Amino acid sequence: MKIPAFNMVNQNGEAITEQNLRGQRTILYFYPRDNTPTCTTQAIDFTGHLTELRAKNIQVLGVNGDSMKKHQNFINKHHIGFDLLVDEDYQLAKELGIYRQKKVFGKESMGIVRTTLLIGPDLTIEKRIDDVKVKNQLEVLFAE
């Protein structure tokens, strides 16, 4: 399956489409909210591995429904080293089945379920991990 066409902006208002993923592998991860404990841990973990990922020609992009301003604040506060995309209406998350009913602390609501995609240079989704556990996300992503 290929990644669906999309058109989002990053934290700086720059348009990013699926064509920006072409030619290299991409970790495209969906997370619920900026500046929450688990989401912060996840972004910091990816940032800590950026040098080795970039050496393998892999870029990282995070996606959620937060605004450009929230993304900018999150990046600056935690020194996140990659772009965060604004899926304000959850269009891509919905197309991929990532925006759905979930239960948090016993309360049911609609939202992004933490999911990581590994996308190939030809835009094919090579691997998908639903309900990601942040502590070993990269090991699971690259396990054979």
Would residue 39 show up in a list of annotated catalytic residues for this protein?
A: yes
Do the beta carbons of residue 29 and residue 41 sit within 8 Å?
A: no
d(CA 27, CA 3): 12
Check 39, 60, 85, 117 and give the catalytic one: 39
Q: Is the pLDDT of residue 144 over 70?
A: no
Which tokens belong to 141? 């992503």
The enclosing H or E element of 80 equals none
The percent of residues above 70 in pLDDT, for the chain, comes to 99
Task: Reduce the DSSP state of residue 61 to 3 states and report it.
Answer: strand
Burial code of 76-85, b = ≥16 C-beta within 10 A, e = fewer?
eebebbbbbb
What average pLDDT does the segment 28-55 reach? Answer: 96
What average pLDDT does the segment 51-80 reach? Answer: 97
